[in-house]
Structures are given as C-alpha cells and as structure tokens.
Amino acid sequence: MNRRWLLILGVAVIVIGLIVKGAAFTVYETEQVIVMQFGEPKEVYTEPGLHWKIPIVQDLARYDKRVLNLDPPVEKLLLADQKRLLVDSFSRYRIANPLLFFQTVRTEGTVRQRLGGIVNASLREVLGTTTLATMLSDEREGLLERIVEIVNRQAKSLGIEIVDIRIRRADLPDEVSQQVYDRMKSEREREAKEFRAQGFEVAQRIKASADREATVIKAEAQRESEILRGQGEGERTRILNGAFGKDPDFFSFYRSMQAYEASLADDSTYMVLSPESDFFKFFEDSQGKALGKALGQTTN
C-alpha cells in the first residue's frame, strides 16, 4: 500500500512539475511577449521577469525588443534633373507596439517585406523631387530626415518605430555613368580651352603693352641721345671755335695732323698728290714751305 501511495505521489509531483513548467515563463530584457489564447492575444509583457499562463490553452509570441536592421533591395530612382540613380539604403527600427505588430504583420519576415516597400516608396517620393547636385551636398541630411518622417508615419500603423535611415551608396547606372563622365570630360575640355584662350589674350595684351612701353622708352632714349649728341656737338664746335680763335695756326696744324693720321693709318693706302698740295704744307717747315721745297727738289 505504501508503494502505491509513493507511486501516486511521484506521479502527482511530476504532473504538478509539468503544469508549473508549462504555466511559468520568463520575459528577458531583450524581448517582449504576448500571451495568446486560441490565437487571440490576452496579455502583453514588455518588462523582464517571471510570469504565468494557462498551460496548453495559452501559448506565447515573442518579439525582439532591440533595434533591428532592415536592408531593402537597391532601388532605381529618377531624380528631378532626369538622372537615374541606384540607391542602396538601410534602416534601423524597433517594435514599439508588439500587440499592433502582431495584429498587422505577425512575423518579422513579413514586416521586412512591407517595411522595405515603404522605405523605397519614401525614397522615390523625396529624392524624385531633388537633383543629383543636392544629393551630393550638405542638404542630404535634410532629405534623410524627411524620409524618416514619412516612413515613421506609415510604419506607426504596423507598431514599428523607425530609428534611422541611411543611404549606404548612391550610384549612377553604368550607361549613365559613362554619359556623365563623357559630359564632364567635354565640359572640362571646354573650360580648359576657355582658360587657354583667356590666358593667350592676357599674354597678348601684356606683350602689346610691353612692346608699346619698350617703343616709348626707346623713342625717349633716342630723343634724349639726340639731344645730348646735339648738345655735345654744339659744345665741341664751341670749344673748337674758341681754340681756333685763340691760335689759328696751331688749330690748322692740329687738324692737319688728324687728317694725316686718318689717311696714312693703313699701310695699304696709296695717295697720288702733288708736293705743292696744301695737304703737305706742314712737311716743309714750321711755316709749311721748306719741306715742300725739299720734296720738290727730290722729285726733280
């Protein structure tokens, strides 16, 4: 009889243990739990701790409480300046209302599809009204804030809160990239030609100005030199005239010596002159006669 009671007691303990195990559950810090009864939500637990439910009748739906990542497919957009752009974005979100989340999407796999569509639609809505230059400027942060605001309004109905949306990469399609590259190359070549033409024009203007200044300087220098030469010639003439007036004989002798030096300097010079020529008058004597006579006798 004791054995039988022990067996019954053991079975009862096991059953009670199973009941307690099926009734007790733990909510961890990283999750939030919905208690379901026949597929209908009965209770929501968002704080960590030990809780109870009816075994077998009730089950649990667990959702992550942490910030989750969403990496939607690359979206091909048409910007306001008619440029096509491949936008690769990523989003960070969390389940803010687990009950609403369960009622609308139920699983995280489903929400990735729906939220990805919302994000891409918002990208098209906002970026479709802007240009590529704006996308590459400091205004990009403002565009992302508008996208987050639009996505948040729609995601709220799914029990989701958007933490952040970022554009990982924004590239032009290959065919458009080549066209943009060719256009940029042509634009740079055109600008280079304009700069070279402007530089040549400036160089010609500087050269013309320098030539004009050089011509003016040369003309001024020539004029000054002519004035100085004239003044020198005049001074020379004045001095010579003064010297001639003081001693005409010496001046005549000095001029004749200069003429002799200039005429007889070259050994190959031949002169055919009469001994009585005035050119030889200073070869006679101090009066210009004796040397002429001696030359005449020699000739005879």
Nearest residue to 120 via CA among 167, 171, 84, 176: 167
Residues whose CB is less than 8 angstroms from the CB of residue 207 and which lie 6 or more positions away in sequence, other chains included: none
The 10s digit of each residue's pLDDT in 124-137 is 899 888 888 888 78
Is residue 2 assigned to a domain? no
Half-sphere exposure of 30 (CA within 13 A, CB side): 3
* CA 77 – CA 79 distance, rounded (Å): 6
> How much of the chain exceeds pLDDT 90, in percent?
31
The 10s digit of each residue's pLDDT in 171-185 is 777 766 677 778 888
Residues 72 and 164 in one domain: yes
Question: How confident is the model at residue 169, as a pLDDT?
Answer: 84
Q: Indicate the pLDDT class of residue 290, thresholds 50, 70 and 90.
A: very low
Residues 80 and 167 in one domain: yes
pLDDT at 296 over 80: no
Cα–Cα distances in Å, from 112 out to 60, 156, 180? 22, 14, 35
Contact 223, 229 (CB under 8 A): no
Interval 275-293 mean pLDDT: 55
pLDDT at 45 over 60: yes
The residue range of the domain holding 277 is 247-299
User: Domain boundary residue among 51, 66, 81?
Assistant: 66
Q: Indicate the pLDDT class of residue 300, thresholds 50, 70 and 90.
A: very low
- Domain containing 90 — which CATH number? 3.30.479.30
* CA 77 – CA 88 distance, rounded (Å): 11
pLDDT at 291 over 60: no
User: Domain boundary residue among 142, 172, 202?
Assistant: 172
Residues 117 and 160 in one domain: yes
Which residue, chain included where needed, has tokens 């013309």?
208
Is residue 138 assigned to a domain? yes
Which residue, chain included where needed, has tokens 């489903």?
110
Return the ∠ at Cα 61 (arms to 55 and 63), rounded to 5°: 145
Question: How confident is the model at residue 20, as a pLDDT?
Answer: 62
Residues 72 and 168 in one domain: yes
Residues 158 and 120 in one domain: yes
Contact 163, 67 (CB under 8 A): yes
Question: How confident is the model at residue 154, as a pLDDT?
Answer: 92
pLDDT at 93 over 90: yes
User: Domain boundary residue among 120, 146, 172?
Assistant: 172
Question: How confident is the model at residue 293, as a pLDDT?
Answer: 44
If one counts the domains in the chain, the total is 3
> Which has more confidence, 227 or 83?
227
- The reported pTM is 0.54
Lowest mean pLDDT among 32-46, 224-238, 257-271: 257-271
Question: How confident is the model at residue 137, as a pLDDT?
Answer: 82
